[in-house]
Homo-oligomer: A and B are copies of this chain.
Amino acid sequence: MPITGDQTLLKQINRMAIVRRVRQQSGLSRADIAKETGLTKSTVSLLAQELIDEGWLVEHAIQITGALGRRPTPLAIDGGRLAMVGAELGVDRIHVVGLSLSGEIVFKTEQDLQGSGPTEVLGQLARLLIDGVAQVRASGRSVFGVGVGLPGAVDEDAGVLKVAPNLGWRNVDVARPLRAAFDAAGLDALPICMQNEADVAALGEYEFGSAPVPDPLVYLSLGIGVGAGIVVNDRLFVGAAGFAGEVGHSILQIAGARCSCGREGCAEAYIGLRAIARQSASPGDPPRDLDALAAGVAQGELLAVRAAQQAGHYLGVLMQNLWTAFDPGRFVLGGPTCELGAPLLDAAKETIDAYALAAGLPAPEVRVSRYGRRAVAAGAAAMVLHKLLRPV
């Protein structure tokens, strides 16, 4: 990108550079920031004051030291005045959260889908989001943006859900009805963004996971579908046609089990919730839903535990393959399947650890999502911040 004379953009780049620096290291002074960014002290002072006035930054109490003279005032992120609102449009449920600038969930609600067509479901989503914004505001915070995580491939610029197999939707314009409902509610100044569910969850972990958050970061979304959200070079990575991270359809077993996608041997055919449910069913019994399956594992029921362990083993192989591809500094595991707990998660960790040991390498870091069942909704909120912090 050439450097043009766009002063508004230049200013926003510099403002967000200051916010990002303070997010990395709380307590920096204006002089520290000037030194590290190359901006002049007067520019930093001017912009920092704006950011304080708007609710981004807060001045900490001046540290009293033995030395003479005025101490520089430490700056920190203000977790108390601004918020983003995020939603997960799931296959059977909507989650909405309000998230503070420091990543705390300050509001949450959830509701089963009422209906199945785009008109009803998107109407319900809009109502829940608008109500969420109102409630976060009522608690005294300004809301500066709204994000949505969707269960399928998303054309982010167009705001279109291209294909969502488990909803049975194709090419549904999500942005337009949401925008219309927000405008009608007087929220026309509020930006709305959206992306695939694994992608936004990855951004939630990237923006608010345990520090220091490494890059690349691979978030594995484990449920009926299996997919990855991938952050590379400080940005979400979606590939040439938006299919990057569709790792549920990488091959774990040549000419193996038939997958719902039509291929054979895909990861999803071994790690997907339906595959685990089938594996854990006694002969003649129907597969169970997640809650029943999780209860079976928790009670140490042999078939359920073995099915979880086997899926965990395949998950470890998938992680080994993604390790060689992306060399992530961290894997984060999220999604409903994680509720099967230790038998699955330990088997995955043992498998990738064994591969690392065989090759004489330290194993990569593996964590479970910070936000649990709200990983997608919180990630959608985090996406708003993520984009704002990166004006170009």
Contacts and interface: CB of A to CB of B under 8 A. Distances in A.
A14 interface: yes
Interface magnitude class on chain A: 35 or more
Interface string A248-262: 111111100000011
A2 interface: yes
Interface stretch (A5-13, A91-99, A126-134): A5-13
Contact of A327 (B5, B216, B238, B264): B238
A359 B263 contact: yes
B249 A317 contact: no
Contact of A239 (B242, B243, B250, B326): B326
Given A14-B2, A244-B326, A359 B261 contact: yes
A1 interface: yes
Interface string A221-250: 000000010001101011111111111111
Contacts of A238: 327
Nearest to A217: B240
Interface in A293-331: 317, 320-329
B14 A250 contact: no
Contact of A253 (B249, B254, B325, B327): B254
A216 B244 contact: yes
Interface in A106-136: none
A240 B39 contact: no
A39 B2 CA distance: 8
A240 to B, nearest CB: 4
A243 B327 contact: yes
A4 interface: yes
Contacts of A254: 252-253, 317
Contact of A10 (B3, B232, B253, B261): B3
15 contacts: A2-B17, A2-B39, A3-B10, A216-B240, A228-B325, A240-B327, A243-B323, A244-B327, A245-B325, A247-B325, A250-B320, A261-B358, A261-B359, A262-B359, A325-B325
Given A4-B38, A232-B237, 18 more contacts: A2-B14, A3-B14, A4-B39, A5-B38, A228-B325, A233-B237, A239-B327, A240-B328, A242-B327, A247-B324, A249-B324, A251-B355, A261-B359, A262-B358, A262-B360, A263-B355, A321-B321, A321-B325
A-B residue pairs, 9 tightest by C-beta: A239-B327, A4-B38, A240-B329, A2-B17, A244-B327, A250-B321, A262-B358, A243-B327, A2-B37
